[in-house]
A = this chain, B = another copy of it.
Amino acid sequence: MLRLHDHITSGNGYKVRLLLTLLGLPFARVEYDVDRGATRTPDFLRLNPNGRVPVLDVEDGRCLAESNAILCYLAEGTRFLPSDRFERALVLQWLFFEQYSHEPNIATLRYWITHRLMDDGRREQVEGKRRWGEAALAVMEGHLGSRRYFVGERYSIADIALYAYTHVAEEGGFDLTPYAAIRRWLDRVASEPGHIPITQS
Contact = CB atoms under 8 A, between A and B. Distances in A.
Interface of A: 49-50, 58, 62, 64-70, 72-73, 76, 85-86, 88-90, 92-93, 95-97, 99-101, 103-104, 121, 124-125, 128, 139, 142-143
B93 A65 contact: yes
Contacts of A86: 58, 62, 64, 73
Contacts of A92: 66, 68-69, 72-73
A130 B125 CA distance: 16
How many copies make up the complex?
Answer: 2
A107 to B, nearest CB: 11
Contact of A89 (B69, B88, B142): B69
A99 B100 CA distance: 6
Q: Do most interface residues of chain A lie in helix, strand or loop, or is the interface mixed?
A: helix
Contacts of A76: 85, 88
A88 B88 CA distance: 14
Contact of A139 (B50, B68, B97, B128): B50
Given A99-B99, A100-B100, A104-B104, A73 B49 contact: no
Given A96-B96, A100-B104, A142-B49, A85 B66 contact: no
A89 B104 contact: no
